[in-house]
Each structure stands twice: as structure tokens, then as C-alpha cells.
Amino acid sequence: MAGLMRVKAPVAWRGLEHSHRGRILREMGGNCLAERFGRHIELNEHERAALTSIEDGERRFRRGATLRSEQGDGGDIFVVEQGWIFCSVLCEDGRRQIIRLHSRGDLIGLDDLAFAVAPDTITALTDVTVAILDKARLGQMFADHPRLAALLFAVMQVDRVMLTDRLVSLGRGSALGRIAALLLWIAARLRLTDPANDGAITLPLTQEEIGDATGLTAVHVNRTMRALDEQGLIARSGGIVRLLDEARLARTANHVRREEKFDLGWLPPAR
Amino acid sequence: MAGLMRVKAPVAWRGLEHSHRGRILREMGGNCLAERFGRHIELNEHERAALTSIEDGERRFRRGATLRSEQGDGGDIFVVEQGWIFCSVLCEDGRRQIIRLHSRGDLIGLDDLAFAVAPDTITALTDVTVAILDKARLGQMFADHPRLAALLFAVMQVDRVMLTDRLVSLGRGSALGRIAALLLWIAARLRLTDPANDGAITLPLTQEEIGDATGLTAVHVNRTMRALDEQGLIARSGGIVRLLDEARLARTANHVRREEKFDLGWLPPAR
DNA sequence: CGCCCAATTGAGCTTCCTCAAAGCTCGTGG
DNA sequence: CCACGAGCTTTGAGGAAGCTCAATTGGGCG
């Protein structure tokens, strides 16, 4: 009993970095945006160059650092290169809602394109490295590379659909279901960069943070994870959660597997 | 006591159409997309023509009609011209979550650009008229009118931020807060087309539908609205809800007023 | 060694849900 | 013109899920 579910966050990310260090370092440095877009279409020389030119420097933040505040009047746009980031909103009563988690390849802060005041706070969940995007050059991309612009638009839909799924989870899911959904989502995310992952998650989240993400109390998160454990759906040990029965987890989470099968026939030709 | 909160839906939309008929008819027919985009920038001749050419016919649906099913393999993209539409997801246990409501000027079905299977069901909440968009021509717009494409991208952020707000409402809001948020949102929406609106809402939603939107039971929606009534926040009569104290409603809803103040300095020049 | 943060556990309570039964309003058919 | 049926709303009673408050444990770090 003792020793289970010791998910001390600093340990968690350090463990993450440790176990993945080799791969991550290998992946880094490359153009994140190009890597992301390249998942869907074959980029030509010009397009690749354009994507590189949009990135305007790199920055690192330590766990807990604020990349953008709800109060602030907007700011930069980022692409996550390494580590985890989350977007959250603070309520009057001090409670917090985590809107979404982001990892390598995700675009963050796009709401700055439309709103003067940022809708959410962006925080580093682990130590992170991000590339900073230049708004004007992003605009230029729309002019010079319509195909990339259209693809960016499509990629954004993925993010929107994720929000949709989370909305259903929070609106209609039980505590069990919400946490199962979160775990499945994180596992899917890890498999994007590590397809061989067998369901072992070095959880980058504190139980309190899991609660903030699922709309639950830290206390209830604890009890619920114990329930998942006792039901044989997951196993926990020293900050690692292992998904034992993903099919059953998916059922309790009302999970829909979203294949990112892009229908890109409508894209304009490359330039 | 009797007679309060008689929000029979068919009555509701008919009432809506009745009280607004003149204005809506005046607004209709014009190019919805151009109208929407024109809120933010001054369109030139070519751009206006391009937006018109994207619309490919008009269709009407009766209340309750399904415009797209979660099962279906994607389909059309719409712009709402008149009436209300909602997007929802059905859970295993038969419960439903309404993801969002849409009215005039909203773009619907864009997820078809990225996913082979539709993530949600699109249903007519009232009798509606929609314009159908042509995917290929939308793609063409990215090539021919980068400024419009970029603006479309920015407009999409508004939708994303709305989902964010709803997520917070469902995750951290009480029943009182969730319903207050919904009412405030609908009122804001009505004021987009009718700035003089004083807070009287001809509710297009059944209490059951309100429950589906807020993640509550129809029964609890009823009790909660009575509570809002008794606390003097709203008044109900014959299918009309009047917001009596929007400041206090906003506080209980943890509502953030989102000014759509676009920062459009990054847009590429018009063509 | 002592501190701090996070996980864990217990007890009591609130909020929201479920099940069930009326009551209203409107549209329909006789 | 009236009775009836359908669809929503309203209300009551009891139960379950999740919350709050409070205390304890464990582990890493200074």
C-alpha cells in the first residue's frame, strides 16, 4: 500500500526527461512546425524554409513558469519543442480549470490573433523548450504559402475537436470516466513520439493538477485513482501509471478514438 | 405560479421568428460570410465576390432535422443564415452533451476539413436556413485571398475561446453558474443582431436541452431556474426569460466578457 | 534532522441525480 | 367547440457522487 501513487511532480518530469532524454535530444533542434505539418503532407523546399523562417528564436522555461497570463494583453505565439505545457483559467473562488495540455509540436497562444486580452494562462508543467513564432511572418505565410495556411487551418481543427471531447467528458462523465479519459489521452500523446509505448505513463501531473484538469477535487482524484487501481484498470507505482486494460478504460471514459485522417483534397496547390 | 416557465420549444422559435421577423428578413439573402467578415475588416470588391462564390446554394431544415450525424463520414460545411443550430455528442448511456449553439454568421462543420468521421451531430434547434459551402472553393480562397484566409483563421479562434469558456463553466461551475453562463451567452448572441435587446430572451431551448448543454438533468435545470428566479436574477413568463441583474448573473457564472477586439495587424495585404 | 510538498484516509455534508407523479399548453380530431 | 393526446414543466422523496475539513504518512531536499 505504502509507496503507491507517489507522483511527486518534480520527480515525474525528471523521470520523463531521463527515460526519454536520448530520443528527445535527437528530435530537438529540428523545425517543430515542419515536423508537425510533415505528418500530413509532403513539404517542398520552399515550404520547409518558410516554416523555419516563422520560428523566431527559442526559449526555455522552468516548471511552474508562466508563459502568458490571463491578465496580460496577449503576447507571443509558441510551438512546444520539448516538455509539457498547460493552459488554465482561474476562477473567482481560487479554483482552477486546466483547459488543455500541450506537448511537442503543439501551437499555443493563437488566441492572441483575435483577442486583446488572453483567455487563459499558459504555464510550464515541466521544464520546457518552446520556439517563438513571429506573428507578421505567420501572416506572410498566408500570402506566400496558401497550402501551408490551409493545412494550418486543418490542424487547428484537431485542437478544436479535442476541446469538444473534453467538453463531453466534463459535462457527462463520472469521476472515473474523466480520469480514464485523461489517462488515455496522455497515453495517445506519448505514442505520437514513442509509438512503442506500452501504456506506461510517467505522469507529469500532480493529483491536484489532475483534479484541475478534470474538474474534480484532489482528494476525489486520489480516491478515484485508487478505484481504477482496485478495478484492475491501471497499476500505479512510484509516479508511473500503467494502463492495464485500455479497452475497458475507453469504455468507462466514453472514449472515441480519433484518427487524424485528414481529408486534404481541398488544399490549394503548393507554391 | 402556474404559467411560469412555459418554454415550449416550438412556441419559442415561432415566437422568435415572429418578434424578429422583420429584421431577419431584411438581413437575409445577403452574403452571410461577407457580413461576418465585414465585422472585422473592410472588404474590397474582389474579396466580397470571392466570399459569395464560396457559398454554394441554400438549404432549409425544420426543427429537429439532422444536418450531419456523428456516424456519417463527414459532409458539408455550412454557414447559418437564420435560426439556431446545435452540435451535440451522444454518450453510450443515451445521455447527450450539447457542445455549442450557433446562430447567424457561424461556420459549422469545419471539422470535416480534418477528420474523416464527424466528431459531433449537427441538429436544427429551430427551423433554419443555411448556406452550403464548397470545400474546394474554400481551398481556392486560401490561394486567391490570403487576407480572407488569415481572417477566417482569426475568426476560428473566437469559436475556440468559446469552447474554452464552456469548459471552465462545466468543469468548475455550479448548476446556478452554468445556467447563468448559458443565459448570458445567449443574450450576448442576440445582441449581436439586435444591440437594443434589453435582456429579454425568447429561449429557443427546452429545459431538457438546457440540461444537455450544461451537463445537468432536466429536473435540476428546472429547480435551478426557479432558484435564479427566486433570487431575482431572472424573471420567467411564457417562454421568455428576462435577465434582471446581469452583473450578479455574471458573477455567479464566473463570466468573462470577451470583447472581440481583433489585433489584425499581422494580416497580409488584400488582393 | 527537520521541513515541505504531495499523497492518503476518515467523517460528515452538499449538490445533483433518479424515479415517479402531476399539471399546463397546444394541436388535433371528432 | 370540446375532449384527448403529446410534449414540457413542475414538484416530491430518497439516494449517490463528489466536496470540505482535518489529520496522517512518505519522500526528497536543504
Interchain pair A171, B170: CB under 8 A = yes
Segment B116-130 mean pLDDT: 92
Q: In the structure, what pLDDT confidence band is assigned to residue A112 with cuts at 50, 70 and 90?
A: confident
What's the pLDDT at A24?
A: 39
- What separation in angstroms does the CA of A187 have from each of A196, A198, A243, B264? 11, 9, 8, 37
> Between A21 and B269, whose confidence is greater?
B269
Q: Does residue B17 carry a pLDDT above 50?
A: no
Residue A131 CA to residue A55 CA, distance in Å, equals 6
Is pLDDT above 90 for B101?
Answer: yes
Q: In 3-state terms, what secondary structure has residue A128?
A: strand
Q: In this predicted structure, which of A32-41, A125-134, B88-97, B253-262 has the lowest mean pLDDT?
A: B253-262
For nucleotide D10, the protein residue with its alpha carbon nearest to C1' is B222
Task: Look over chain A and give the mean of its residue pLDDT values, rounded to a whole number.
Answer: 87
Q: Which long-range contacts (CB under 8 A, 24 or more apart) does A87-94 make?
A: A87/A120, A87/A121, A87/A122, A87/A123, A87/B164, A88/A120, A88/A121, A88/A123, A88/A212, A89/A119, A89/A120, A89/A121, A89/B164, A89/B168, A90/A121, A91/B168, A91/B172, A91/B254, A92/B251, A92/B254
Answer whether A115 sits within 8 Å of B166, measured CB to CB.
no
pLDDT value at residue B19: 37
Confirm if B101 and B186 have CB atoms less than 8 A apart.
Answer: yes
Pick the range with the lowest mean pLDDT from A57-71, A129-143, A156-170, B16-30: B16-30
Task: Tell me the range of A14-18, A38-42, A142-146, B55-59 where mean pLDDT is highest.
Answer: A142-146
Q: Are A86 and B167 in contact (CB under 8 A)?
A: no
Q: Which nucleotide is nearest to B229 (CA to C1')?
A: D10
Q: Provide the angle, in degrees to the nearest 10, between the axes of the packed helices B146-172 and B45-54.
A: 60
Q: Give the pLDDT score at A28.
A: 52
- Calculate the dihedral angle through the C-alpha atoms of B49, B54, B58, B63, rounding to the nearest 10 degrees: -120
The mean per-residue pLDDT over the stretch B31-59 comes to 92
A14 or B30, greater pLDDT: B30
Nearest CA in chain B to A271: B143
Q: Does residue B174 surpass a pLDDT of 80?
A: yes
Question: Is residue B243 over pLDDT 60?
Answer: yes
Q: Which of B130, B105, B129, B110 shows the shortest CA–CA distance to B120? A: B110
CB contact under 8 A, B160 and A163: yes
Decide if B161 and A259 are in contact by the 8 Å CB cutoff. no
pLDDT band at residue A30 under the 50/70/90 scheme: low
Q: Which of A70-79, A141-150, B45-54, B103-112 has the lowest mean pLDDT?
A: A70-79
> What number is the average pLDDT over the span A118-131?
94
**Cβ distance of A160 and B155 shorter than 8 Å:** no
Name the nucleotide with the smallest C1'–CA separation from B14. C26
Q: Is the CB of B226 under 7 A from strand D?
A: yes
Per-residue model confidence (pLDDT) at position A62: 93
Give the pLDDT of residue A74.
66
For residue A6, is pLDDT > 90?
A: no
Global pTM value: 0.89
Cβ(A65)–Cβ(A148) under 8 Å?
Answer: no
A10, pLDDT greater than 60: no
Per the structure, the residue whose CA is closest to nucleotide C24 at C1' is B3
pLDDT at residue A19 greater than cutoff 50: no
For B190-228, the pLDDT digits (tens) are 998 888 888 899 999 999 999 999 999 999 999 999 999
Query: B259 contacts in A (CB within 8 Å)?
Result: 115-117
CB-based contact B262:B154 (threshold 8 Å): yes
Q: Cβ–Cβ contacts within 10 Å for residue B198, how many?
A: 9
Give the per-residue pLDDT at B1: 32
B146 closest CB neighbour out of A146, A155, A157: A146
Residues near A2 by beta carbon (within 8 Å), at least 6 away in sequence: none
Q: Is the CB atom of residue B218 positioned under 7 angstroms from any atom of strand D? A: yes
Of residues B239 and B47, more confidently modeled: B47
Residues B198 and A246: their CA atoms lie apart, in Å, by 51
In this complex, the nucleotide whose C1' atom is nearest to the CA atom of residue B64 is D7
Compare CB distances from B97 to A116, A156, A168 and report the shortest one's residue.
A168
State, as a whole number of angstroms, the distance between the CA of B5 and the C1' of C23. Answer: 13
